[in-house]
Amino acid sequence: MRITYVVHARFPAEKAYGLQIAAVCKAMAQIGHDVTIVAPYTKNYINQPIHEYYGLPGSVKFVRLKNFDALGKKWIPGPLWMVITMFFYRRELKKFLQNHQAEILYVRSPLILKPLITSGISVVLELHTIPKKFKKKFVSMCNKCKKVVALTSPMRDEVRKLGVDESKLIVEGDGVDFDEFQNLQEVSNEVPVIGYVGSLATQDKIEKGVPELLRAFKELKDRGTKVAGWIVGGPDDWKKSYSELADTLGLSENVRFEGRIERSEVPSAISKCDVCVYPAPATDHPFIMRDTSPLKLVEYLAAGKPIVCADIPPARDIVDESVVEFCVPGDSKSMADAIEKAINEPGSKTQTAKEIARKLDWKERMGRVLSF
């Protein structure tokens, strides 16, 4: 099919959404579809071509529309930059789609649904969060889409309650490039390395469980269990804050902070860990309990590592007790117990983990999404 992915924001981008969009488009091209990416004109500090930046195949076409970009205009208040830019982008999209040939328009943001739906081309919406406002309008637009892909089953259940037609809904979390995590060099560590490889916070304000992990390291130290903590990820201000917390807990010699690494370095970093941790705070925040698709968990699975995982609903879409050691979200003692168990039984669950990850390869995932 001819599929056009309509991007909703700055592209390329160093943020997770840009990587996810690129992974989806690459997978669709690899399984034989004719893929075009359409993106808005926005101020960007990344100057590399998107094919080079993301490693996209040359068959993927890229179109940047000539919309007005409000970003950085001194005469426009900062809070209005995105609103104004999207207004002009939607207008350019409507014009572009009048003569554009495609069987499917693929999008991950409800912000730009209207011109896509009115184009008469079938729309697939991959839903990453549920809008807080204008929910009746949101539901109406969802019901005009060909399919709505919810990242998690709690998200699917929520939009179904709002009134989205159940026949349009499918659940598919984020995927993984399975081959990237195979044949990694094994490292023999004198002291077990307990690793977290991922962003330290999301949206630069929602913590992802690193303080709980640090307190679990403190618990293990107090028990006399020797481990080396390795926390890989940014942003730098969160790294600094957590480093100070580690010092306060007396962990300066037990935990090392690596900071943000390049995407290509992630498989190697995971390979150096004896146990990988997917933590979470004790919270009812919808991002943690409903919207988050645990990409890092899937990468840990693909690498075949023993895993300690916070027991949150989105994780249960992917794994159960036969694959990971669960711990109570926000409970450092429970996490320490799970880490000890994973250390003592290192290979008991890794084969099953790889089997699950193989089914979550991006190509497999997109084949299921587009199977209609």
Is residue 107 located within the same domain as residue 215?
no
pLDDT recorded at residue 294: 86
Per-residue three-class SS string for the chain: CEEEEECCCCCCCCCHHHHHHHHHHHHHHHCCCEEEEEECCCCCCCCCCHHHHHCCCCCCEEEECCCCCCCCCCCCCHHHHHHHHHHHHHHHHHHHHHCCCCCEEEECCHHHHHHHHCCCCEEEEEECCCCCCCHHHHHHHHCCCCEEEECCHHHHHHHHHHCCCHHHEEECCCCECHHHHCCCCCCCCCCCEEEEECCCEECCCEECCHHHHHHHHHHHHHHCCCCEEEEECCCHHHHHHHHHHHHHCCCCCCEEECCCCCHHHHHHHHHCCCEEEECCCCCCCHHHHHHCCCHHHHHHHHHCCCEEEECCHHHHCCCCCCCCEEECCCCHHHHHHHHHHHHHCCCCCHHHHHHHHHHCEHHHHHHHHCCC
Question: What is the CATH classification number for the domain harbouring 260?
Answer: 3.40.50.2000
pLDDT recorded at residue 345: 86
**317: containing domain:** 178-358
Q: Is the pLDDT of residue 71 over 90?
A: no
Is residue 142 located within the same domain as residue 257?
no
Strands 206-207, 201-202: pairing kind: antiparallel
Is residue 161 located within the same domain as residue 204?
no
pLDDT recorded at residue 263: 85
- Mean pLDDT confidence for 86-103: 96
Give the closest residue to 1 by CA, choosing from 112, 124, 94.
124
Is residue 198 located within the same domain as residue 316?
yes
Is residue 21 located within the same domain as residue 112?
yes
Question: Worst-scoring range by mean pLDDT, 54-63, 148-157, 195-204?
Answer: 195-204
pLDDT recorded at residue 228: 97
Is residue 107 located within the same domain as residue 83?
yes
**pLDDT by residue (tens digit) across 16-40?**
899 999 999 999 999 999 999 999 9
Phi/psi for 181 (5° steps) reads: -105, 15
**What proportion of the chain, given as a percentage, has pLDDT over 90?**
86
| Residue 68 CA to its chain's centroid (Å) | 29
Total of domains in the chain: 2
**pLDDT by residue (tens digit) across 255-304?**
999 999 988 899 999 999 999 999 999 999 999 999 998 889 999 999 99
**pLDDT by residue (tens digit) across 312-321?**
999 999 999 9
Is residue 273 located within the same domain as residue 353?
yes
Q: Is the pLDDT of residue 87 over 80?
A: yes
pLDDT recorded at residue 212: 97
CA distance 167 to 181: 35
pLDDT recorded at residue 15: 84
pLDDT recorded at residue 14: 84
**pLDDT by residue (tens digit) across 219-265?**
999 999 999 999 999 999 999 999 999 999 999 999 999 999 988 89
| Residue 148 CA to its chain's centroid (Å) | 18
Is residue 284 located within the same domain as residue 136?
no
**What proportion of the chain, given as a percentage, has pLDDT over 70?**
100
Mean pLDDT, the chain, whole residue set: 94
Is residue 23 located within the same domain as residue 123?
yes
Give the closest residue to 122 by CA, choosing from 33, 39, 3, 29.
3
